[in-house]
Structure 1
Amino acid sequence: MRTEINMVKGIEQQQDKDKVTKALHNVWGVREVDVHLSNGEVAVSYDENATSPIDITQAILDAGYQVVKTNSTLNEDNVN
């Protein structure tokens, strides 16, 4: 599982948050979405074998928002 953090322009109200969250949950392989209205940060946890950062960015664009910055993808694999 990986997490990607995107800075998204235009997320200011609850309806924006809901729209982006729904769009991302429709991407196969996305497990968790956390949208922060205060700074426009969108954290997406996903199965890297099922989807890619390109698919995540495209879903945000298709929802009508602009990705202005993507932080490096963090590996969250649990080691037992």
Structure 2
Amino acid sequence: MVRPRAAAARQPQEVNLAEMVVNLQRRLEDQEREMLNLREQLAQQNQEIPPPPAVPAQPAAPAAPAAQAGQPVIRQEP
């Protein structure tokens, strides 16, 4: 048998947990609505702004010279 005092002590926590669940569900729904609105705004902006022109690929920078056998590589600070 559950003691009345223990049951009374648990009840407020259960109410708080239920309220927390409801509040979290509301926040989740609000965030989902906000995300949909932001997606719509982004899609609209993407339609308004033309895509940037294609940029030709830059050739790769030459690799640093390898050290010759027995000689240390001296690095220069930028």
TM-score range with shorter-chain normalisation? Answer: under 0.3
TM-score where L is the length of structure 2: 0.22
- The structure with the largest alpha-carbon Rg is 2
Counting strand residues as a fraction of each chain, which structure ranks higher? 1
Instruction: Work out which structure has the larger RCO, using CA pairs closer than 8 Å and 6 or more positions apart in sequence.
Output: 1
Counting helix residues as a fraction of each chain, which structure ranks higher? 2
TM-score where L is the length of structure 1: 0.22
